[in-house]
Structure 1
Amino acid sequence: MKINYFFLLLALAAEIIGTIGGFGSSVFFVPLGNFYFDFYSVLGMTAIFHLSSNLSKIFLFKKGLDKKLLLYIGVPSVFFVIAGGFLSKLVDGYALTVVLGIFLVVFSLLFLIKKEIVVLPNKKNAVIGGTLSGFSAGLLGTGGAIRGLTMAAFNLEKHAFIATSAFIDFMIDFSRTFVYYNNGYIGKQELTYLPFLFAIGLIGTYLGKKILAYIPQDKFRSLSLLFILLIGLATLIQIMVAK
């Protein structure tokens, strides 16, 4: 099978931007992957790609893991990513792609326009955020944006934020990898890309950390949201053209 190297270059960009922006790479990787592969293949690739990228983040940003957030956000995320993963098999891939595109556009526009929107830092909202991000990750392939918004309310130090988010994401990816494999989303094609995506996860995270030192998080948040908006619009346009 021929490897698409331009796709791998885009995957590297998604990992770098996802590391710096704090949303995780899947919010960029999933819609970009849909331009080259079917939706279910992208789900399988996202899970195995994220395992390596999140291990890298845990190692590089290991200081200051927040154990309470690991519990309140991480545990419901794992349960509901499994539910979302099983449900993804029952829903048409075309419909899921439409939902993903709409989700990205609505999410980015909401927080670009309403910058004052905040989530109160309490246990209830942490559990709700973990539930929604896990379910979204299982069903649509990406839930980092919801988790990032929830965690931002707790005003963690930048490195602690990324490490805690990555640890939760790792638990999510580890769980959904088994579900996706059982669903048939991880086959020969996806495994062929595995070593490339593993290397990209390591390199992209490292480069993202280096760049992060020079970019204020608050400014890059707006840029990340703009990227999410453009990718969401491109996803919807692609669907309409293909139809």
Structure 2
Amino acid sequence: MLSRYLPVFIILSLIAEVLGTVGGFGSSVFFVPIANFYFDFQSVLGITALFHLSSNASKIAIFKKGFDKKIVLNLGIPAILFVSVGAYFSKFLDPKILTYILGIFLILLSLLFLIFKKLKINPNKKNAIVGGSLSGLSAGLLGTGGAIRGITLAAFKMDKNKFIATSAIIDLGVDFSRSIIYYFNGYMHKEHLYLVPILIVVSILGTWIGKKLLDKISQEQFRVIVLLLILVIGIVSISSNL
């Protein structure tokens, strides 16, 4: 099925990477629902982890303006611990149920921040640990936790380059951890490995385009667009399984 629609898949993946870079959520929040149209949910988790490894490496290289070491530790360590928990338990849950959970999660999250525009999280160690734990658990179970991590990081009011570099470093550790568990869970298949070099190119190009857009577009304006897109993707994720 994918070979017939491979060009469409590549374009959609590139768009996911661009939006994920500019929105600060990471590409998985868009890529997982897109890939779910082409693969079973467990294969999606494996492909997303591999895609994200190259995606975050690209972000670290392109947004090399430094990162916040304290936040990386406070948010990153619990994220890595809980992504392992989520990745392990993902094999015991019905993939269709997980897809519904993903859709509901995206809809509720986007509506929450669209309706309550001034909603903020206090920038303290406790919230960093909680945000890291929830984002890691979500990433392990559903394939995406960047939205939770992005919302948590936003509380610390870093500049865009530092924000994305910090998020990418945390996400790199998360993706490396879950990739190992997904592999032993049997989520990574030989017939999909040809996608890896394609997605590496997509991640580099998408991150570069995203940086160019960030230099020209207001982050607040694009935040609204990204939240609306997340809402639409959540609705499509649920409707595709009805």
Is the pair's TM-score, using the shorter chain for normalization, greater than 0.5?
yes
- Any conservation in 2 of the 1:129–1:147 contact (CA below 8 Å)? yes
Letter in 2 for 1:48: L
* Residue number among 18, 21, 36 corresponding to 2:20 in the alignment: 18
Letter in 1 for 2:3: K
C-alpha displacement of 1:36? 1.2
- Any conservation in 2 of the 1:44–1:190 contact (CA below 8 Å)? no
* Residue number among 109, 119, 129 corresponding to 1:117 in the alignment: 119
* Counterpart Cα distance in 1 of 2:81 and 2:192: 25
The aligned counterpart of 1:78 is: 80
The aligned counterpart of 1:226 is: 228
Alignment of 1:35-50 (within 5 A): 35-50=37-52
C-alpha displacement of 1:21? 0.7
Alignment of 1:119-158 (within 5 A): 119-158=121-160
The aligned counterpart of 2:59 is: 57
The aligned counterpart of 1:166 is: 168
Q: Structure 1 stretches (4+) deviating beyond 4 angstroms? A: none
C-alpha displacement of 1:42? 0.7
Letter in 2 for 1:87: F
Q: Which string of whole-angstrom CA distances, capped at 9 and with x for unpartnered residues, describes residues 12-45 of structure 1?
A: 0000010011110000000111111111111011
* Counterpart Cα distance in 2 of 1:187 and 1:36: 14
The aligned counterpart of 1:107 is: 109
Q: Within the alignment, does 1:178 sit opposite 2:180 as a pair?
A: yes
TM-score by length of 2: 0.97
How many residue pairs get aligned? The number is 240
Q: Which string of whole-angstrom CA distances, capped at 9 and with x for unpartnered residues, describes residues 77-102 of structure 1?
A: 00000000001000010010010000
* Residue number among 98, 101, 107 corresponding to 2:100 in the alignment: 98
Letter in 1 for 2:131: G
* Counterpart Cα distance in 1 of 2:225 and 2:238: 20
Q: CA RMSD in A?
A: 1.0
Q: Within the alignment, does 1:7 sit opposite 2:9 as a pair?
A: yes
Alignment of 1:24-39 (within 5 A): 24-39=26-41
Q: Which string of whole-angstrom CA distances, capped at 9 and with x for unpartnered residues, describes residues 41-81 of structure 1?
A: 11011000001110010011111200000000000000000
The aligned counterpart of 1:204 is: 206
What SS is found at the alignment partner of 2:56? helix
Letter in 2 for 1:187: H
Gaps of 5+ in 1: none
* Counterpart Cα distance in 2 of 1:16 and 1:2: 23
The aligned counterpart of 1:89 is: 91
Gaps of 5+ in 2: none
Letter in 2 for 1:15: E
What SS is found at the alignment partner of 1:118? coil
* Counterpart Cα distance in 1 of 2:45 and 2:222: 26
Q: Which string of whole-angstrom CA distances, capped at 9 and with x for unpartnered residues, describes residues 178-208 of structure 1?
A: 0100011111133121111111111110111
Letter in 2 for 1:68: K
TM-score by length of 1: 0.97
C-alpha displacement of 1:5? 2.0
